[in-house]
């Protein structure tokens, strides 16, 4: 069984969705950069080891990343899952976990990298928003796309209502991607995410809830 370390900064709702989905992997640790992250309590209640590497205790980003990687490596994970981990990582850190670190982003990448994705989608007049899971590279929100789910932007959406609808799909998509990795289906090949069963790019399929695609 493959092992997974999950990194969080807050409530860890995507971490919870992975735990509750019962993916065939061992969640060997949940690590946060914030000691007050609510998701740590959830992990402890479910018997998952936790750790805190407080970024405020380090002089610079490189020192923090070195300490974080040391904590991750204690568990020797096959996969590192960023689940609302709100820190920009150094290139050295990213290279250390290349092809075995994934992230979830609340937009249909490459659109709306960075923050405030829902507000920007509404302001741009988008009719569709969504969520993307991707391998992590040195480019912010720019790694190879694994899978996406589309969500309609409704005429009277606010930032909050759109965010809630996207988050519901995050909780479906992320456990599926972790399951693909855990069962050996998902890999990174020649810079593209590939699913082993059909040998096609994983990002080639876009989910549209309620539609037969």
Domains in the chain, please, with CATH? 1-97 (3.40.50.170), 103-213 (3.40.50.170)
105 is catalytic: yes
The span from the CA of 153 to the CA of 12, in Å, is: 25
Nearest 5°: phi and psi at 137? -130, -175
CB-based burial, 125-158: b 16+ in 10 Å, e otherwise: ebeebbbbbbbbbeeebebbbbbbbbbbbeeebe
Q: What is the pTM of this model?
A: 0.93
Options 46, 55, 75, 105, the catalytic residue: 105
User: In a structure prediction context, what are the per-residue pLDDT tens digits for the chain, which is 213 residues long?
Assistant: 999 999 999 999 999 999 999 999 999 999 999 999 999 999 999 999 999 999 999 999 999 999 999 999 999 999 999 999 999 999 999 999 999 999 999 999 999 999 999 999 999 999 999 999 999 999 989 999 999 999 999 999 999 999 999 999 999 999 999 999 999 999 999 999 998 875 444 544 566 664 433
- Among 26, 74, 33, 68, smallest CA distance to 47 is for 26
């Amino acid at each position: 069984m493959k092992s997974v370390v999950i990194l969080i900064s807050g409530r860890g709702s995507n971490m919870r969705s992975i735990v509750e989905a019962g993916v065939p992997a061992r969640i060997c640790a949940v690590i946060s950069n914030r000691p007050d992250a609510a998701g740590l309590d959830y992990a402890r209640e479910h018997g998952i080891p936790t750790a805190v590497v407080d970024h405020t205790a380090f002089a610079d980003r490189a020192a923090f990343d070195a300490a974080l990687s040391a904590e991750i490596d204690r568990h020797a994970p096959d996969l590192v899952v960023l689940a609302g981990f709100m820190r920009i990582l150094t290139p050295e850190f990213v290279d250390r976990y290349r092809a075995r670190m994934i992230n979830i982003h609340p937009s249909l990448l490459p659109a709306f990298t960075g923050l405030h994705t829902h507000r920007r989608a509404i302001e741009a007049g988008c009719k569709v928003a969504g969520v993307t899971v991707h391998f992590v590279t040195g480019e912010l929100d720019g790694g190879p796309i694994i899978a996406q789910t589309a969500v309609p932007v409704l005429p009277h959406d606010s930032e909050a209502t759109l965010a809630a609808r996207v988050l519901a799909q995050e909780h479906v998509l992320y456990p599926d991607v972790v399951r693909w990795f855990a069962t050996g289906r998902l890999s990174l090949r020649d810079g593209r995410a590939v699913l082993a069963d059909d040998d096609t790019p994983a990002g080639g399929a876009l989910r549209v809830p309620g539609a037969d695609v």
